């Protein structure tokens, strides 16, 4: 039998986690619902800042029953991997861009038709209205749940390490990275460029090693992912409006009690609306910031791009691929396209 001297007692106490000394009620318990959320953006992007806030609100309002663990910046793999994981239930939440979820749900790319939206008023009216509802319905058929409020990625702009892009003719033969999305490939082929699909996780290195010369993304992404370090000029083309759908694995979502579902969806949708405001505010300052870091900006002539897309049959092709209902909803929001 061990005789407990004062010394051994002290040593034992010192090696024991503090919480267990205080007693049972204080021992940290695992949350009843531990939900994982993966995304492809750096922590400093408004999407991650607002998602973190939503996770804290959800923990508070559910009194600790729900814990959402965020895996930012492609920690769990690229977009294609996270899309499989959210379908299989390995993660509960994912925020694919409309372009990316369109590999599963083709109609989801409808908001990304080239030069369709002219401003944010049109965007949010359509995505908070019938067009967004139509896409969410299609997403739900794949046993995924899409929260009502779409999050903002932004109007996409083109950057290059070569000569500036000013008009459609400058696209000829341009090796440009685009997301893994049929619409992006089709659009840049119609512009006579040489598009290559890469997951976002690979973009910085692909530009740095000159596997591609150009890429296209909204300015806040170019800023937080530091793409200005490996690109020279930026053409303000506004060629696609892109947003993120906040989606959940359908089975995991339906498995949550109704009161928890309400807490989670209220927090996520509110955070989404705030995130739109963050991007709007960022849009006021981001160009000056990128300029100060050496990126050279130029305007483009959008009519040359539109004419080229029209002549190449891009609008006609996608009108057929999306079908009359979705195309009608898009044109209802933005006017005639084809």
Q: Any contact of residue 191 with ligand X2X (CB under 6 A)?
A: no
Question: Which residue in 60, 76, 56 sits closest to 68, CA to CA?
Answer: 56
Least gap, CB of 100 to ligand X2X (angstroms): 5
Closest distance of CB 127 from ligand X2X, Å: 16
Among 97, 231, 300, 319, binds ligand X2X (CB under 6 A): 97
Nearest Cα neighbor of 242 from 49, 110, 337, 63 is 110
Q: Looking at 40, 231, 275, 319, which residue binds ligand X2X (CB under 6 A)?
A: 40
Question: Would you count residue 179 as binding ligand X2X (CB under 6 A)?
Answer: yes
Which residue, 33 or 93, has its beta carbon nearer to ligand X2X?
Answer: 93
CB of 151 to ligand X2X, least distance (A): 11
The Cα-based distances of 207 to 1, 196, 231 in angstroms read 69, 12, 7
CA distance 191 to 219: 22
Q: Of 7-15, 18-26, 83-91, 96-104, which part binds ligand X2X (CB under 6 A)? A: 96-104
Give the orientation angle of helix 302-311 with respect to helix 314-334, to 10 degrees.
120
User: Among 200, 253, 318, 327, which residue interacts with ligand X2X (rule: CB under 6 A)?
Assistant: 200
103, 153, 159, 231: residue in contact with ligand X2X (rule CB under 6 A) = 153
Q: Which stretch binds ligand X2X (CB under 6 A): 66-74, 92-100, 102-110, 254-262?
A: 92-100
Per CB under 6 A, 99 contacts ligand X2X: yes
Q: Report the nearest approach of ligand X2X to the CB of residue 183 (Å).
A: 11
Q: Where are the alpha helices (DSSP H) in the chain?
A: 6-14, 18-22, 46-61, 79-88, 98-101, 120-127, 130-140, 182-190, 203-208, 219-224, 250-254, 258-292, 302-311, 314-334
**Cβ pair 213, 160 in contact under 8 A:** yes
Q: For ligand X2X, which residue of 48, 217, 231, 237 counts as binding (CB under 6 A)? A: 217
| Residue 100 within binding range of ligand X2X, rule CB under 6 A | yes
Question: Rule CB under 6 A: is residue 221 a binding residue for ligand X2X?
Answer: yes
With beta carbons less than 8 A apart as the criterion, state whether 27 and 71 touch.
no
Tell which phi-psi region holds residue 13, choosing left (phi > 0), alpha (psi between -120 and 50) or beta. Answer: alpha
The residues, any chain, with a CB within 8 Å of residue 260's CB and separated by 6 or more, are 33, 62, 65, 66
Give me the residues that bind ligand X2X (CB under 6 A), please.
40, 97, 99-100, 153, 179, 200, 217, 221, 242
């Amino acid at each position: 039998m061990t005789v407990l001297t004062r010394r051994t007692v002290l040593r034992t106490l010192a090696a024991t986690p503090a919480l267990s000394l205080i007693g049972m009620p204080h021992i940290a318990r695992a949350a009843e619902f531990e939900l994982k959320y993966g995304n492809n953006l750096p922590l400093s992007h408004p999407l991650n800042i607002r998602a973190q806030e939503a996770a804290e609100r959800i923990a508070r309002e559910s009194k600790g029953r729900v814990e959402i663990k965020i895996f930012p910046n492609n920690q769990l793999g690229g977009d294609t991997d996270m899309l499989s994981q959210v379908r299989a239930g390995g993660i509960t939440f994912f925020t694919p861009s409309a372009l990316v979820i369109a590999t599963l749900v083709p109609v989801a790319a409808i908001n990304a038709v080239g030069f369709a939206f002219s401003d944010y008023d049109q965007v949010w009216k359509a995505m908070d209205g019938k067009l967004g509802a139509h896409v969410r319905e299609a997403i739900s058929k794949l046993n995924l749940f899409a929260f009502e409020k779409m999050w903002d990625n932004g109007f996409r702009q083109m950057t290059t390490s070569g000569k500036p892009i000013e008009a459609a003719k400058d696209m000829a033969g341009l090796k440009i990275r685009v997301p893994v999305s049929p619409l992006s490939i089709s659009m840049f082929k119609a512009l006579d460029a040489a598009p290559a699909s890469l997951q976002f996780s690979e973009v910085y290195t692909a530009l740095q090693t000159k596997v591609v010369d150009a890429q296209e993304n909204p300015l806040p992404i170019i800023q937080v992912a530091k793409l200005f370090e490996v690109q020279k000029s930026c053409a303000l083309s506004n060629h696609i409006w892109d947003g993120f759908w906040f989606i959940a694995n359908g089975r995991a979502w339906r498995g949550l009690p109704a009161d928890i579902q309400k807490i989670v969806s209220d927090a996520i949708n509110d955070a989404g609306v705030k995130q739109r405001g963050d991007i709007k505010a960022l849009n006021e300052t981001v160009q000056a910031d990128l300029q100060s870091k050496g990126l050279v900006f130029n305007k483009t002539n959008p009519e040359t791009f539109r004419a080229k897309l029209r002549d190449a049959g891009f609008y006609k092709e996608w009108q057929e691929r999306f079908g009359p209902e979705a195309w009608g909803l898009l044109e209802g929001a933005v006017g005639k396209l084809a």
